[in-house]
A and B are shown apart, each in its own frame.
Chain A
């Protein structure tokens, strides 16, 4: 779809809503140089720049999929703003980590909002414990924020009740599998 044509902002939003990952690739290409330059000019290295760029693309993807994005400004402006926030957050985290000298007391005492997903393999392993269908459904629900009707449509289920039951089943299964091997502490 992308190959030859370059999408305008509205087309890009629509494409991402339809789950077109190549639209995200266009996002990556269009905003690559400005975001990279920004990170590199602000004490980041090439790896940091790549991370911020990818995270920005994914953040925009998530916002669009969750209907959290209103096209008030150009997507490039939005992308730069998101990248900037992400980089500042990272810098903050870095300086905090340095200050705290490795002992993250804040996280130990209160169940804070953030979990630690530095180990990608662990994340993938947990989601690998359930079937593909379950993973797809749960992703639609939790990541894309689709309602039951949309999921039923996407996955060819009869109605939203079927999806609800299926979703419950899948989640319980994931929880069981997860608790067999891990505890919450593994991701804090």
Chain B
């Protein structure tokens, strides 16, 4: 015990550097010659190191709880992150609002996709290739049927012809006059006159030639079997209710036959849809349009140079040799050039 005690004291003194050179030499001599002493020494050295290391760990723990949270505070870091995220969000929202405000055509473009209006790319392909085969078994795509049932009225050759004739015989400006005259007794017309007065330079009228163009061959019109004869093809607004109803019936027939049998839906189909078109002049010379359901407001254009067409449910505007696609647009949208060359060509080929 006392030997033990002495060992410990001696070793501590050595470890703490408290031995003088002579004592140190004796100590090291003993260390090399006495294995028991060496064993005791190394164990004691280890234990003293363990005590020190434990003390260091306690200090580190203190630093980790007190210094780190205060200096490189994790909550500060979190707060700054939250702030950064919030700032980013605000910037993004702001950018979105600005974007929405100044580039409505682009927004309207996405709208058009979301409302599943056919894009020119699909419309030329889909009816031709997919439909005749898939319709046998598959449920028809909701869009196409709805579209056909509610909006597209298959025209007749007579309609087309009469329409063509009308536009040839009567250039647009006088046509406007004559329309006014010919529709005088119509109740619908009265309403429009009222609006016309209200809107000053507004013409409340539209003719639209709806085309479902598949392969672009015009002679395939003949395959569309409808018997509806619209005597006022160029004046759909004045068309009688019965006539329209008939046209609708024909549309149904058309759809039935197309989905039931080897229908020729793939062939170009010209239909007509009634739009109310208003020509507006903006005091700031804004050029653009609004389109809701069947009401179209055109800004910065005049009725003399504009022609409207609907192709496969899409509304197109032709003016001065250019074709614009008019997607539904509640707020004012800019005119957007159509990109599909087939549709452009088709529309430019119309009178």
Residues of chain A touching chain B, judged by Cβ–Cβ distance below 8 Å, are 21-22, 24-25, 28-29, 32, 54, 57-58, 61-62, 111, 115, 117, 120, 123-124, 126-127, 135, 138-139, 141-145, 168, 171-172, 174-175, 178-179, 184, 187
Q: In the complex, are the beta carbons of B59 and A117 less than 8 A apart?
A: no
Complex-state Cα separation, A111 to B49, whole angstroms: 14
Complex-state Cα separation, A49 to B218, whole angstroms: 79
Q: In the complex, are the beta carbons of A127 and B50 less than 8 A apart?
A: yes
Complex-state Cα separation, A175 to B5, whole angstroms: 13
B190 within 8 Å of A (CB atoms): no
B62 within 8 Å of A (CB atoms): yes
A-B CB contacts (within 8 Å), total count:
90
| Pairs of residues from A and B, 6 with the lowest C-beta to C-beta distance, nearest first | A143-B55, A28-B67, A127-B54, A25-B67, A142-B51, A142-B48
Q: In the complex, are the beta carbons of B62 and A24 less than 8 A apart?
A: yes
Given contacts A143-B52, A178-B47, A179-B43, 9 further A-B contacts (CB under 8 A): A21-B66, A22-B66, A54-B63, A58-B63, A139-B55, A145-B16, A174-B47, A175-B44, A184-B43
Which of chain B's residues has its CB closest to A57's CB? B63
Q: In the complex, are the beta carbons of A184 and B50 less than 8 A apart?
A: no
User: Contacts A127-B54, A142-B52; is A32 near B60 (CB within 8 Å)?
Assistant: no
9 CB-based A-B contacts, threshold 8 Å: A25-B63, A62-B56, A111-B42, A123-B53, A135-B54, A138-B51, A139-B51, A143-B52, A175-B47
Residues in A with CB closer than 8 Å to B4 are: 172
Distance between B45 CB and nearest chain A CB, rounded to angstroms: 8
Q: In the complex, are the beta carbons of B59 and A61 less than 8 A apart?
A: yes
Residues in A with CB closer than 8 Å to B59 are: 21, 24, 57-58, 61
Complex-state Cα separation, A46 to B161, whole angstroms: 81
Q: In the complex, are the beta carbons of A29 and B67 less than 8 A apart?
A: yes
Residue among B4, B5, B47 having the largest count of chain A Cβ atoms under 10 Å: B47
B72 within 8 Å of A (CB atoms): yes
Distance between B167 CB and nearest chain A CB, rounded to angstroms: 77
Complex-state Cα separation, A111 to B40, whole angstroms: 13
The binding surface of chain A is classed by DSSP as helix
B8 within 8 Å of A (CB atoms): yes
Q: In the complex, are the beta carbons of A32 and B51 less than 8 A apart?
A: no
Which of chain B's residues has its CB closest to A113's CB? B45
Residues in B with CB closer than 8 Å to A139 are: 51, 54-55
Taking a contact as CB atoms closer than 8 A, the residue among B51, B60, B66, B70 that contacts A127 in the complex is: B51
User: Contacts A21-B59, A145-B16; is A171 near B47 (CB within 8 Å)?
Assistant: yes
B71 within 8 Å of A (CB atoms): yes
Residues in A with CB closer than 8 Å to B50 are: 115, 117, 123, 126-127, 178, 187
Distance between A122 CB and nearest chain B CB, rounded to angstroms: 9
Residues in A with CB closer than 8 Å to B72 are: 32
**B 280-319 to A, binary, CB cutoff 8 A, 1 in contact else 0:** 0000000000000000000000000000000000000000
Distance between A133 CB and nearest chain B CB, rounded to angstroms: 14
Residues in B with CB closer than 8 Å to A115 are: 46, 49-50
Distance between B327 CB and nearest chain A CB, rounded to angstroms: 53
B57 within 8 Å of A (CB atoms): yes
Taking a contact as CB atoms closer than 8 A, the residue among A57, A61, A117, A135 that contacts B49 in the complex is: A117
Residues in A with CB closer than 8 Å to B42 are: 111, 184
Complex-state Cα separation, A94 to B61, whole angstroms: 25
Which of chain B's residues has its CB closest to A188's CB? B46
Distance between B144 CB and nearest chain A CB, rounded to angstroms: 60
User: Contacts A54-B60, A115-B46, A124-B57; is A25 near B70 (CB within 8 Å)?
Assistant: yes
Distance between B305 CB and nearest chain A CB, rounded to angstroms: 68
Q: In the complex, are the beta carbons of A29 and B46 less than 8 A apart?
A: no
